[in-house]
């Protein structure tokens, strides 16, 4: 039977193989240590909270009769940075697509891409929640040894 650490390692390997994560996530893992045992958890939680807020903000901006593409682009840029900082590769790449449509002032392109960004974010959030559960299981497993 696989240990919680084995399960976490396999889960992360699959996320890398699917193109969901990039090497930035590995950088975050290297920062986490005995002096900062909850670092990954805190970073992931912050990303998930911010991401939800940003998606809602983007949706509100795109729902206005006169879309402020510069403001939309600034928010998309912030989300791209946030995604890049946690290694959420697909979310980051979709934010880059949104940036292109903002520069083109393409309402349809932005709406379509917001839908994709939203789907990628919520998929990633679910995967991140699974990582947090597995990390908790790893801590519990090793504290009993």
User: What dihedral angle (degrees, nearest 10) is formed by the CA atoms of 50, 53, 59, 61?
Assistant: -90
Angle made by CA atoms 58, 60, 62, in degrees to the nearest 5: 70
Residue 143 pLDDT: 81
Residue 99 belongs to some domain of the structure: yes
| 113 domain residue, yes or no | yes
Q: Is residue 74 part of a domain?
A: yes
User: If 0-12 CB within 10 Å is exposed, 13-18 middle and 19+ buried, where does residue 30 land?
Assistant: exposed
Residues 6+ apart with CB under 8 A from 26: 87
CA distances in angstroms from 121 to 19, 54, 108, 138, listed in the order given: 13, 10, 20, 25
Q: Give the Cα separation of 51 and 17 in Å (integer).
A: 23
pLDDT of residue 145: 64
Q: Is 132 a member of any domain?
A: no
Q: Per the structure, how many domains does the chain have?
A: 1
Looking at the domain assignment, is residue 33 inside a domain? no
pLDDT tens per residue across all 145 residues of the chain = 889 899 999 999 999 999 999 999 999 999 988 888 889 999 999 999 999 999 999 999 999 999 999 999 999 999 999 999 999 999 999 999 999 999 999 999 999 999 999 999 999 999 999 999 999 998 888 787 6
Cα–Cα distance measured from residue 9 to residue 15, given in angstroms and rounded to the nearest whole number: 10
pLDDT of residue 22: 96
H runs (alpha helix) in 1-145: 4-17, 23-31, 39-62, 69-86, 89-103, 107-143
CATH of the domain at 90: 1.20.120.160
Query: For the chain, what is the largest distance between any 2 Cα atoms, rounded to a whole number of angstroms?
Result: 61
pTM: predicted TM-score of the whole model, two decimal places: 0.93
Task: Determine, yes or no, domain membership for 120.
Answer: yes
Residues 90, 58: Cα–Cα separation, whole Å: 18
Domain that holds residue 99: 40-127
In a domain, 102, yes or no: yes
What's the chain's Rg over C-alpha atoms?
Answer: 17
Position 14 in a domain: no
């Amino acid at each position: 039977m696989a240990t919680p650490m084995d399960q976490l390692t396999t889960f992360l390997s699959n996320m890398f193989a699917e193109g969901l994560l990039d090497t930035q996530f590995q950088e975050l893992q290297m920062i986490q240590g005995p002096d900062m045992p909850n670092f990954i958890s805190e970073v992931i939680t912050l990303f998930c909270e911010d991401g939800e807020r940003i998606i809602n903000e983007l949706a509100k901006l795109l729902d206005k009769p006169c879309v402020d593409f510069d403001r939309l682009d600034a928010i998309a840029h912030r989300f791209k940075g946030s995604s890049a900082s946690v290694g959420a590769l697909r979310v980051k790449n979709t934010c880059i697509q949104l940036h292109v449509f903002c520069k083109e002032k393409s309402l349809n392109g932005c709406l379509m891409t917001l839908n994709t960004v939203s789907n990628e974010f919520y998929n990633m959030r679910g995967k991140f929640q699974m990582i947090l559960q597995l990390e908790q299981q790893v801590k519990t497993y090793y504290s009993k040894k």
